[in-house]
Amino acid sequence: MNLRTPDVLASVQAQVESHYRSALVERIRDAGGVLTAGRTTIRLAKQFGFCYGVERAIDLAYAARKVFPDRQIVLLGEIIHNPDVNAQMSALGIRHLPARPDAGQIAGLDPEDIVIVPAFGAEVATIEAVKQIGCQIVDTTCGDVMSVWKRVRQNATEQVTSIIHGKAGHEETRATASRALGKEGTGHYLIVLDLNQTAGVCEFIKSGGDSASFLSQFKGAYSPGFDPQKHLQRVGVANQTTMLRSETEEIQRRIRAAVEDRDKGSSSNFRFFDTICGATQERQDALFGLLDHPLDLLVVIGGYNSSNTTHLVEIGEKKLPTYFVRNAGCLLNSQEIRHFDIHRDEEILASGWLPPRESPVVAGITAGASCPNNLIEETVRRLLDLRGEEA
C-alpha cells in the first residue's frame, strides 16, 4: 500500500506538527534568524534541523501507525539518529529491532507485521530475510542514500572497487557496503574513515606493500575476499552522505593522484561521483555563514550518534567554544553544561560556559538534519532563562 497518498499524509500531519513544530523557531527565522532579549542575542544558522529525507521518514512511520492501527510495527534500528524522535516512535507503539537483527529476531517476526526501514537504509541481507518472512516493508530510505547505492552497484558490475568514505559501523555505510558487493556478490569495497587512513591506501596504490599488514589496519571495513594487491587496481570513491564534504573531496583528490602516479598520468582506473547529501551540505554552508558573525559561543543540538551533526561540531570548535547537546536538559545551569566531546566519545561536564548576566552575549545555535524544531525552541528558551531573559 502507498502510504504517501494525500489523504493519509493529511491525516497524520497535525499529529506530526504537534510533536515537532516550533512557532518560536519560525518567528526567529522570519526575523532574519536573530532574537535579542536584553543583553542576550541568539543567532540561528540559516539552515538547520529536519531535512526533507528525515521529514519523509517520520511521516511514513506515523502514516504506517495510522493505516495499520492493529498490526505490530517494527523498526530496523532507529528511524533517524535522534533519541527524542526515537522515543516518540516507541510512544506510538512501534517496536525497535536492532539495525542488524540476528536470525532469531528475524524468525520472531510474523507475516502480518509491518517492518519500517529507516532513513539511512538497511543491509541487503536483512531486507531479504524480512521478505522471506512475508512482512510488508515500509521503506523510508532517503533518496540521496539510494543515489550512492546506484553508483556502487555500477562499480561492482564493472569490477571497480568502491572506496567508501564513511564510518564502518554506521547503518548507512553498512547498507551501502552491502550494495557494493553487487547482485552476484562478486564486487568489493574498502571503507576509509579519514585522511590518515586514506594516506595508507594511497601509499599501497602507488607502491604496493604487505597485504596482511594493510588489512589489519582496516579490520571490519572491507569486503569478503578483499585483496589489496588486486582490488585496488580499479577504484571508485563513494561516501556516506553525511560526511564532511571538504574531507570527501580531499580523499577523492588524493586517491586519484595516487592512481595517476601509479598509471603514469592516466586516470582511467579512477572514478568519483559527488554523492554528498544536499541537506548536509546546506547545513555545513549555513554554519560557515553563521560563524562569519561575531559569536561568543556555539550550541549544536542533535543526537550524539548523528554523523552530520558531529561534522557541524567539528566546524564550530575550530573557531570558538562549541557545545554539542542532545536537548535543553543538558543546559544544567548558568555555570554548568553537559555536552558531548566528539574526541573522547563521551558526555562531559563543562563549567563557566555562559557569561554572567550583566555581560552581553551572542550565542549561535544550529542543529543537525535529524533534530526537530521543538528541541531547538526548548534550548533557546532554556538559554534565555539562564540569562534571566524571556523569548
pLDDT confidence tier of residue 275, bands split at 50, 70 and 90 = confident
pLDDT tens profile 9-18:
888 888 999 9
Q: Beta strand 361-367 with 40-44: parallel, antiparallel or unpaired?
A: parallel
The rounded Cα 65 to chain-centroid distance in angstroms is 24
What gap in Å lies between CA 26 and CA 38, rounded to an integer? 20
Q: Which residues contact 139 (CB under 8 A, 6 or more apart)?
A: 117
pLDDT tens profile 182-217:
999 999 999 999 999 999 999 999 999 999 999 999
Note the pLDDT of residue 10.
83
172 is catalytic: yes
pLDDT confidence tier of residue 391, bands split at 50, 70 and 90 = confident
Q: Which residues contact 63 (CB under 8 A, 6 or more apart)?
A: 3, 4, 8, 9, 11, 12
pLDDT at 1 over 70: no
pLDDT tens profile 307-339:
999 999 999 999 999 999 999 999 999 999 999
What does pLDDT average to over the chain? 95
Note the pLDDT of residue 295.
98
Q: Exactly one of 172, 184, 247, 249 is catalytic; name it.
A: 172
Asked if 15 and 62 count as a contact pair (C-beta separation under 8 A), the reply is yes
Is residue 309 classed exposed, middle or buried when 0-12, 13-18 and 19+ CB atoms within 10 A define those classes?
buried
pLDDT at 244 over 90: no
pLDDT confidence tier of residue 141, bands split at 50, 70 and 90 = very high
Asked if 182 and 281 count as a contact pair (C-beta separation under 8 A), the reply is no
pLDDT at 136 over 80: yes
Q: For the chain, which domains are there? A: 21-51+278-386 (3.40.1010.20), 52-141 (3.40.50.11270), 144-272 (3.40.1010.20)
Note the pLDDT of residue 276.
74
The pTM of the full predicted model, rounded to 2 decimals, is: 0.90
Cell numbers at 266, concatenated: 592516466
Average pLDDT over residues 36-41: 96
The rounded Cα 278 to chain-centroid distance in angstroms is 12
pLDDT at 68 over 90: yes
